[in-house]
Amino acid sequence: MIRRLLREPLLHFFVLGAALFGVYGWMNRGTSTAPTEIFVSRDQVRSFEAQFERVWQRRATSEELQHLVDNWAREEVFYREGLALGLDRDDPVVRRRIGQKVEFIIDGVAPAAPTIAELQAWLDAHRASYSLEPIYSLRQVYFDPQRRGDRLDRDMARARQSLANGKAVSGDVTMLPAELEAAPQFDIERDFGAGFAAALKDLPLGRWQGPVESAFGLHLVLLSGRTGGGQPLLEQVRAEVERDLLLARAKEANEATYNRLRANYRVRVESSGTPADPAG
C-alpha cells in the first residue's frame, strides 16, 4: 500500500508544489503580504524616483511621487483582478511574453570561459571560417570592350608592351582606382568584382599581366604586393574564436535545458479524432 502510494503521480505533484511554495516563502520572507494587500517596497519607491528624474531631469515632489505610487497600485489592482478572472489564460500575447521571460532567464546563464586548448580545438575544426584575407598592392589600366570593339585585343597588346618598356598608358576613363596600396581582398571584390579579386592570387609579382576581367571590362594589372591569406594562428583570431565558441556553447546549453523541460510534457494534437505526440 505504501509503495503504491509513493508511486502515485498526484502525491508527487503535491509534494513538489509544497516544496516550491516553501522555497518561495523563504526567498520572500519579510516582504510577504496578504492576498488583498499591495506592498510597495522602498526599492520600488527609489525606482519610481529614479525613473522620474531621468525623464524630467529633476527630483519628484512628494505629490508627484505619490501619484507614481498610486498609478503603480492601480495597475497592480487591475493585474490581480485580471488573474482572478483568468484573463491571462489563452492570451497569446501574455503566453508569448512569459515564455520569453523564461528564455531570457535561461540565456542569462553564461557558459564557462574556454581554455586555450578548447579554443585551439575549435579553430582546428572550423579553419575555413577564420582564413586570413589576402592584402594586395597593385596598379591597373582599364579597357572598355564596348568602346574598343574589334580593336580591343590589339590595343591591349600594344599597351602591355608599352607598359613593359616603362611607358605611361592611360587606358579608358573609369571611376575605378588606378592604384591600390595594401587593399584587403574584400575591398577589391567590392570595387572590381569577385572574379577580378580571385585572379590576383595567381598573378606573378612585378610584371604587367592581362587581360584580367572585372565586372566592368578588362584590365592590365601590375601586382606589386601580396601578403596574408591562408590559415591563421590562434593569437591572430582569438577574439573571434572565443566569441563563436561561447555562442555555440550557449546555444547548446539552452537547447539542452529546453529538452529537459520538454521531457516533462506530452503534447497531444487532436487531428481526425486521433491524438498525436510530436517529438518537438
> Does residue 59 contact residue 49 with C-beta atoms inside 8 Å?
yes
Q: Is the pLDDT of residue 17 over 50?
A: no
On whether both 101 and 143 belong to a single domain, the answer is: no
> Does residue 144 contact residue 217 with C-beta atoms inside 8 Å?
yes
pLDDT band at 268 (very low <50, low <70, confident <90, very high): confident
Identify whether 72 is part of a domain: yes
47's CB contacts (< 8 A; 6+ apart) are: none
How far apart CA 100 and CA 209 sit, in angstroms, is 59
Identify whether 103 is part of a domain: yes
| Among 227, 247, 265, residue at a domain's last position | 227
On whether both 61 and 140 belong to a single domain, the answer is: no
Q: Could you tell me the CATH number of the domain that includes residue 167?
A: 3.10.50.40
| Among 202, 227, 252, residue at a domain's last position | 227
Identify whether 239 is part of a domain: no
- Domain of residue 47 covers 2-28+37-107
On whether both 103 and 19 belong to a single domain, the answer is: yes
Q: Is the pLDDT of residue 26 over 50?
A: no
On whether both 16 and 96 belong to a single domain, the answer is: yes
On whether both 83 and 153 belong to a single domain, the answer is: no
On whether both 10 and 100 belong to a single domain, the answer is: yes
Dump pLDDT digits (tens) for 211-267: 999 999 999 999 999 987 778 889 888 999 999 999 999 899 889 988 888 888 887
| Among 210, 227, 244, residue at a domain's last position | 227
Number of domains in the chain: 2
- Among 24-33, 41-50, 153-162, which stretch is predicted with the lowest mean pLDDT? 24-33
Q: In degrees rounded to 5, what are phi and psi of residue 276? A: -130, 160
164's CB contacts (< 8 A; 6+ apart) are: 207, 208
pTM of the model: 0.47
On whether both 158 and 62 belong to a single domain, the answer is: no
**24 or 172: which leads in pLDDT:** 172
- Among 8-22, 61-75, 180-194, which stretch is predicted with the lowest mean pLDDT? 8-22
> How deeply is 111 buried, as exposed, middle or buried, from its count of CB atoms within 10 A (0-12, 13-18, 19+)?
middle
On whether both 149 and 62 belong to a single domain, the answer is: no
How far apart CA 258 and CA 269 sit, in angstroms, is 20
Q: Is the pLDDT of residue 28 over 80?
A: no
- Among 26-40, 169-183, 262-276, which stretch is predicted with the lowest mean pLDDT? 26-40
Q: Is the dihedral of CA 154, 160, 164, 166 positive or negative?
A: positive
